[in-house]
Amino acid sequence: MTGTAAAGSPDGTAASRADSTAGRRSGGSRTRTTALAVICAAQTMFLLDTMIVTVALPHIQTGLGFSGPELSWVITAYALVFGGLLLLGSRCGDVFGRRRVFVFGLVLFTVASLTAGLAQAPWQLIASRAAQAAGAAAASPATLSLLATTFPEGPARNRAISIYTALGTAGGGIGLLAGGLIASLTSWRWIMLVNVPFGILVAAAAPRVLSEARRQPGRFDVPGALTGTAGMTMLVFGLTRAATDPAGTVHWTDPVVLASVAAAVLLLGLFVLVEWRSGRPLLPLRLFAGRARAGNYLAIVSYSMAMTGIAFFLTLFLQRIWHYSPLRTALVFLPMTALLVACSRASGPLLRRVGTRTVALAGLAVAAVGVGWLSLMGVSGGYLSDLLVPSSLTYAGLGVAAPPMTVEALASIGERDAGIASGVFNCARQLGGAVGLALLGSITWTTVAAHRRLPASHALAIGIDRGFLVAAGLVVLALAATVAGMPGRRPPGS
């Protein structure tokens, strides 16, 4: 692992000194374990904030006087800014130093969490949520690249990735669990304020245990940054708006949705053209060369589409159809989240024995069965047979499948591309989640509208069951992409 060479040091002494410091910092299992704890704590905070407010939205609406349309922006503002700025955040890490950008983003996220918790008006909370997302977009791409440069490729990195992906994959479930507990036991404000002490601790520890990778000086790809950021922002906005509320006021035929998606397609097309011609691209297109990596990214997107939609609509089902309280909903997610983490953790040793593709296929196959089973839930379903067993299969399978996909996202990636590869991985997950939520939302509410003559709870149950069936299809698509693209490699040294 290398340090950052000081500008203007012709004899390379400063670079050697930095390399030595980085070696001391990254050497030793204790230091690496602490570094992994810092990286995982930060990434978990960033990801769970996409879902933690979901079960507390009624409390937030009452507390700050949100109108119905305004309330959706508590979630949309975070998803919009986070998804739009991820690639730019990864490039900032390459230019200014990944550790430095990581700490900056973490500090911004922490300060914004404080202002969100103290908000006295709707606009203040929405602005704070956007600032939280900006901090997360700056720091999140650095987490995986710092992990890649802290742990050498092989068994050590795969063990670290299994822990990282366990917590990252569980972020949505942990967010729903934490949101339900906090909303039921305290004020909704603590959903935001709880980030503050953790953010301070992680930001203080990061410079001590994380080594700085060699920077890649150079000018920003301004045209790429503008077209890429604007394109992803418009895409996330259009897709998030398409995920309608039960009133059905917005659908895929809504002019704003159509205009946003059309603008996103145009801007992202220009972005690819700019990157193809750029000498220093924001996103090197070589990352997508080869069937294996392209197939893996397709699997990640499909997986994320299913994962986000399942967590959101399962929460909706429990509260709107089975009339669970936020606390009871949170307790339902407790064993599922624990299972997700445990299976992700157990996936690491399996990678060394049977290879990435076999582990991914087994996990996705089990998850597909579980999600398909969830699509049979109904108004009068039972907890054990209709919820616990299928959701356990779903979360166990998704947990097993996550680490091999992350390993493949970083496989054979040099330090030069570690930052942007991490950014692309996070973009695939974030945009996949936005697409999944929009797709399943559109299917759910369209189905509800088609059954409006039935009692509301029955119509909603049919709609959500239909959405779960589509989610099962997305898991099968991820499985097919894995079969087509992912090599059955085993880690070096296994």
Residues contacting 366, CB < 8 A, separation 6+? 393, 396, 397, 400
Task: Decide if pLDDT at 14 tops 70.
Answer: no
Residues 103-133 have pLDDT tens digits of: 999 999 999 999 999 999 999 999 999 999 9
Q: How far is CA 180 from the centre of its chain?
A: 20
- Diameter over CA atoms, the chain: 79
Task: Decide if pLDDT at 352 tops 70.
Answer: yes
d(CA 180, CA 59): 11
Q: Which pTM was predicted?
A: 0.73
Per-residue pLDDT at 6: 35
Domains in the chain with CATH codes: 13-485 (1.20.1250.20)
Asked if 181 and 330 touch (Cβ cutoff 8 Å), the reply is yes
Per-residue pLDDT at 21: 42
Residues contacting 177, CB < 8 A, separation 6+? 330, 331, 333, 334, 337
> What are the DSSP calls for 115-144, one per residue?
HHHT--SHHHHHHHHHHHHHHHHHHHHHHH
The angle at the Cα of 475, spanning 472 to 477, to the nearest 5 degrees, equals: 110
Residues 233-272 have pLDDT tens digits of: 888 788 777 765 545 555 677 888 899 999 999 999 999 9
Asked if 210 and 106 touch (Cβ cutoff 8 Å), the reply is no
Residues contacting 155, CB < 8 A, separation 6+? 352, 491, 493, 494
Q: Report the C-alpha dihedral over residues 331, 161, 493, 15, rounded to 10 degrees.
A: -150
Q: Copy the structure tokens of residue 306.
A: 């299913």
Please indicate whether residue 26 or residue 488 has the higher confidence score (pLDDT): 488
| C-alpha distance across the termini of the chain, in Å | 22
Please indicate whether residue 382 or residue 465 has the higher confidence score (pLDDT): 465
pLDDT band at 413, cuts 50/70/90? low
Residues 297-346 have pLDDT tens digits of: 889 899 988 887 787 788 778 888 898 877 787 788 778 878 888 888 88
Smallest CA-to-CA distance from 227 within 273, 277, 294, 262 is with 273
Residues 373-410 have pLDDT tens digits of: 999 988 887 888 889 999 999 999 988 998 888 888 77
Residues 22-53 have pLDDT tens digits of: 444 444 567 788 888 888 888 888 877 766 77
Q: DSSP alpha helices (H): ranges in 151-214?
A: 155-169, 171-185, 190-193, 195-209
Of 8-17, 125-134, 220-229, 463-472, minimum mean pLDDT range: 8-17
Q: Which residues of 48-61 are buried (b: 16+ CB within 10 A; e: fewer)?
A: bbbbbbbbbbebbb
The angle at the Cα of 201, spanning 197 to 204, to the nearest 5 degrees, equals: 135
Residues contacting 476, CB < 8 A, separation 6+? 364, 368
Please indicate whether residue 80 or residue 358 has the higher confidence score (pLDDT): 358
C-alpha separations of 263 from 236, 256, 430, 436 in Å = 11, 10, 19, 20
d(CA 200, CA 462): 45
Residues 438-458 have pLDDT tens digits of: 788 778 887 888 888 899 889
Task: Decide if pLDDT at 185 tops 60.
Answer: yes
Dihedral (CA of 50, 52, 55, 61) sign: negative
Task: Decide if pLDDT at 412 tops 90.
Answer: no
Asked if 396 and 362 touch (Cβ cutoff 8 Å), the reply is no
Task: Decide if pLDDT at 472 tops 90.
Answer: yes
